[in-house]
Amino acid sequence: MTDACTVTVSASGVEAFRVDVGQTFRITDPEGGQVGDLFAFAAEDPEEWLSASHTRAAVSRLFPKPGEQFFTTRRRPILTFRQDHSPGRHDMLIAACDSARYVTLGQPGHASCARNLFTGLARCGIYPRAVPQPVNVFMDVLPGTTGDLTWTPASTSPGDFVAFEAAIDCVVVLSACPQDLAPVNHGGPTPLVVTLGNGASPQQPPAFDRVC
Ligand SMILES: [Zn+2]
């Protein structure tokens, strides 16, 4: 954490922070080409979390776009996608990288977004039983007409960002994806930056300073 309202997620690292209803947060890719695995859990009951599959059912889209909401396992809105200053590629299909994934890639013990999730939530006293499908911000996965998926390294430029507003009180976890063995990040891994806002606008001086 660099000051009261800005959190740097180190390269291959993780941060967890609480966002109350109406408050905003912005995720910036300062160097470009970096994917972030985004998770959100209801603060009142972490057994309820942002679900990509429930979101796809609610919005009838594979991938998120500004103005739409993300939904929980109990079909409640948890986050609203407020701004997108990026190429607009954000995946909701690909699982978080994990230990088994890196075993298959010949790098057992490699850092992973799944391990980062557990690390981040443990700082908040939360111990999930599973790893939800994340919203992979800046991750470029495109389905073809035959159903094949094409993976392209993240195309974000330095300073690109996305912004979200909490629809309920929630705990958010952001992992700066450590993937360096598959076409996910463009170079790197590199850090991400989270700016916690006061709800008026992510562009306004933030007033939110609670970080798990
Ligand atoms: Zn990852």
- Say whether 34 sits in a helix, a strand or coil: coil
Distance 12 CA to ligand 1 centre (A): 8
Distance 44 CA to ligand 1 centre (A): 27
> CA 50, CA 2: separation in Å to the nearest integer?
27
Rg (CA), the chain: 16
Residues, beta carbon < 5 Å, ion ligand 1: 97, 113, 177, 179
> Could you read off the pLDDT of 69-111 as tens digits, one per residue?
999 999 999 999 999 999 999 999 999 999 999 999 999 999 9
- pLDDT, residue 2, reads 41
Token representation of residue 173: 């976890």
Helices (H), 95-160: 99-104, 113-122
Distance 83 CA to ligand 1 centre (A): 23
Distance 200 CA to ligand 1 centre (A): 31
- pLDDT, residue 212, reads 55
Asked if 124 and 212 count as a contact pair (C-beta separation under 8 A), the reply is: yes
Distance 132 CA to ligand 1 centre (A): 13
pTM across the whole model: 0.92
Q: Which of 45-49, 98-102, 184-188, 201-205 has the lowest mean pLDDT?
A: 201-205
Distance 65 CA to ligand 1 centre (A): 21
Closest CA to 164 of 3, 22, 33: 22
Distance 96 CA to ligand 1 centre (A): 5
Distance 204 CA to ligand 1 centre (A): 30
Distance 134 CA to ligand 1 centre (A): 10
User: Which range, 90-99, 190-199, 202-211, is most confident?
Assistant: 90-99
- pLDDT, residue 17, reads 94
CB proximity list for 70: less than 8 A, separation 6 or greater: 40, 50, 55, 64, 77, 78, 79, 80, 81, 135
Distance 68 CA to ligand 1 centre (A): 24
Distance 179 CA to ligand 1 centre (A): 5
